[in-house]
Amino acid sequence: MKLIRKANVKSIFTLTICVAGLLILYFVEDKEAFINFFFIPTLLAGYIYGAKGGVLTAILSFLLICLISYTSLDNPTDFILRKGLLLGCFLVISGYIVGKLAEQITMTYFGTISALALAMESRDPYIYGHSARVAEVAVRIAKKLKLSKQEQNIIKTAGILHDIGKFGIREDILRKSSPLTSEEYDHIRQHPFIGVSILSPLRLLKDIIPYIYYHHEHIDGTGYLRKKDNQIPLGARILGVADAYEAMTTDRPYRKALSRDKIIKIFRNGSGKQFDKKIVDTLLDITGDLKSRIEAEERLKLY
């Protein structure tokens, strides 16, 4: 919900600029000069919503310019032909270019994230592709819960990077085929905190950090940090279920993939204790009680 509110704030901010421009325009005398103001919402929309948003805002701005011309100028047709059409073309071009650049930056950012996750997983062939599969499961759950597209993308990014902290875990522990000692288990429990310390300097990733930090928390408060219920962010609760599902359905150095019946039993017993019941029910619903297995796409499409 926090992310949805952020998206709404951006939309309201863009709309406010347009309305403020109209109000100011109503009171200024040199209306022709002030019409250049409409570059601001066009460029802002391109940055926030991409090329399509930039172009649509540019077209809307041009229509507003035409409306203002016919209601405020003595010779509106002459103004539109002499200046309005040219300004409209510049608005569309500017909105498209800024939007494309913003999209390219986002795609590069997600590509870098994917490379980081694969680099971490290459240390252990048993978990290669684990993060991509967790991300895919988490997004399927988020879609079923009708979360916004922006929230789905953030959850997917968090899924890809949820184990990035394992860069700080000793390789002999990651590859160990026998049960971990209590000291080794305490060491591996540090990976969410190490992950957050790695990602914290990157402002672009600030929204995913709580999901990574809390993805090993349990609903009943028995997780790493003893958080429970709504103290755990929804995205982290989704990742916790997706991570457990992926771990139980794949082979690991210390065991083979669990049977369908055993996985269902674990989820049912842990529902409301380790796992959020609603999220477990959603997972079992989209998999038909695990009759179908969720697979990640060969190449992640994050944007």
Written as tens digits, the pLDDT of the chain (303 aa) is 444 444 455 566 656 666 666 666 566 666 566 667 777 778 878 887 788 888 888 888 888 778 777 777 778 788 778 777 888 888 888 889 988 888 888 777 767 766 777 776 676 666 667 888 999 999 999 999 999 888 998 999 899 888 888 888 887 887 777 778 888 888 888 888 988 888 887 777 788 999 999 999 999 998 888 888 889 999 999 999 999 999 898 877 777 888 999 999 999 999 999 999 999 999 999 998 888 888 766 444 444
The catalytic site residues sit at 166
Q: How many CB atoms lie within 10 A of CB 134?
A: 29
Domain architecture of the chain: domains with CATH: 2-104 (no CATH), 122-286 (1.10.3210.10)
* CA nearest to 247, candidates 153, 143, 150, 163: 163
Determine the Cα–Cα distance for residues 265 and 271; give it in Å rounded to an integer. 10
Q: Is the Cβ–Cβ distance between 100 and 93 less than 8 Å?
A: no
* CA nearest to 148, candidates 301, 296, 1: 1
User: Could you tell me the CA-to-CA distances from 159 to 24, 95, 164, 193 in Å, in that order?
Assistant: 46, 32, 10, 15
Determine the Cα–Cα distance for residues 7 and 139; give it in Å rounded to an integer. 18
Task: State if pTM tops 0.95.
Answer: no
Determine the Cα–Cα distance for residues 267 and 257; give it in Å rounded to an integer. 15
